[in-house]
Structure 1
Amino acid sequence: MDTLTAHTSQLTADELRAIRSLLDDAFEGDFADEDFEHALGGMHVVIGVDGRLVAHGSVVQRRVLHRGRALRTGYVEAVAVRADLRRQGLGGQVMARLEEVVAGAYELGALSASEEGAGLYLARGWSVWPGRVGALSPDGPVRLPDEEGSTYVWTPPGAARPDPAAPLDFDWRDGDVL
């Protein structure tokens, strides 16, 4: 098994195509171009077995407004494991590497989890954000009630945990904001 941690700029066009193919398969066709775009521009963890990509995840920088302060946030994107290799620890290996990136460069880790993926994140110490979730839209702050209950946060060792009484307002982006 080979594990690589690399910035998007260090990945070849073939590697990016292989990542996109894995994500399309893992999300069963429910992975749009905008979703892939969200996974780019940061650090990727890729795991290969016998020259085939079997697991991926990335962390990109987001700004999250909390109590009037912009938190530098490592946002986890596009975590996927090939279907026939799930439940063998590969997702945990990907997350361990991504958490190292978050701990080394960010004040907060965040992600939006599906019901299927929630167990992985909870087992690793991520927790559902109990407060309000919103976005800084082009028209001003908006609440994202559909994201409440599926937005997870992780605080790196030594970092202060955000106050759940105050909302987390994420920077705007095209497609799914979270």
Structure 2
Amino acid sequence: MTTAPAGRLMGSAGVKMAGMAELRLAHTADLDGTTIKAARALLWDVFDDMTEHDWEHCLGGIHALVWEHGELVGHAAVVQRRLLHAGRALRTGYVEGVAVRADRRRRGIGAAMMTELERVVRGAYELGALGASDDGAAFYQARGWQRWQGPTFALTPTGTRRTPEEDGAIYVLPVATPLDPTGDLTCDWREGDVW
């Protein structure tokens, strides 16, 4: 059993949820080793195809963590990336690692985590973005995220590369920048899945 850390929290002392659950926000730098291990284990438990690169993509930003009876049952993160669109490099809050333990799903945990991360995106970024699975797409659409309809690309060490396998799976949360969702959208480079 992992005990919820009493460490520094972003904003308030945490958000009380229904029952004994509590949602906390913290930057990666403020997470202790036990919390990092619990989050990593949760993601590996939830996703069959989780990789070390996927885990690395979750680090360096703000984590939403849901604790229930001293156990981590939900995790999501928002990290900064640069997406190129219409000749601009947009400071983007990119959502990663949204996971709820199987026995705690359909209880509002995912929605509570996304509410907090969307607040962070709206307050700190020009745009929100994420790559959605087929199972998760309806969840994000119901929250106001918009499916990107145009072609996707990635900046790579060898130049800009088309990413047709990602077309239709990228969702954006417009904040302050006008977007043409039928135009090109290009992500910055990273190891593993670029989107």
Q: What range describes the TM-score normalised by the shorter chain of this pair?
A: over 0.9
Distance 2:46 2:146 in 1: 23
**How far did residue 66 of structure 1 move?**
1.1
Which of the two has higher C-alpha Rg? Answer: 2
Report sequence identity in percent. Answer: 53
Q: TM-score, normalised by structure 2?
A: 0.88
Matches within 5 A, 1:17-96: 17-28=37-48, 30-96=49-115
Task: Give 3-state SS (helix, strand or coil) of 1:53's partner.
Answer: strand
The correspondence for 1:123, drawn from 116, 130, 142, is 142
Greater RCO structure (CA 8 Å; 6+ sep): 1
Amino acid at match of 1:55: G
Q: Deviations over 1:78-120 (max 9, x none)?
A: 0000001111111100100110110110000000011111121
Distance 1:146 1:122 in 2: 20
Query: C-alpha root-mean-square deviation of aligned residues, in Å?
Result: 0.9
Q: Is 1:100–2:119 an aligned residue pair?
A: yes
Distance 1:137 1:162 in 2: 23
Q: Which runs of 5+ in 2 are unaligned?
A: 1-20
Could you list the structure 1 runs, at least 4 aligned residues long, displaced by more than 6 angstroms after superposition.
none
Distance 2:28 2:142 in 1: 28
Distance 1:161 1:143 in 2: 23
Q: TM-score, normalised by structure 1?
A: 0.96
**How far did residue 55 of structure 1 move?**
0.5
Task: Give 3-state SS (helix, strand or coil) of 2:120's partner.
Answer: helix
Amino acid at match of 1:42: G
In 2, are the aligned partners of 1:91 and 1:120 still within 8 Å (CA)? no
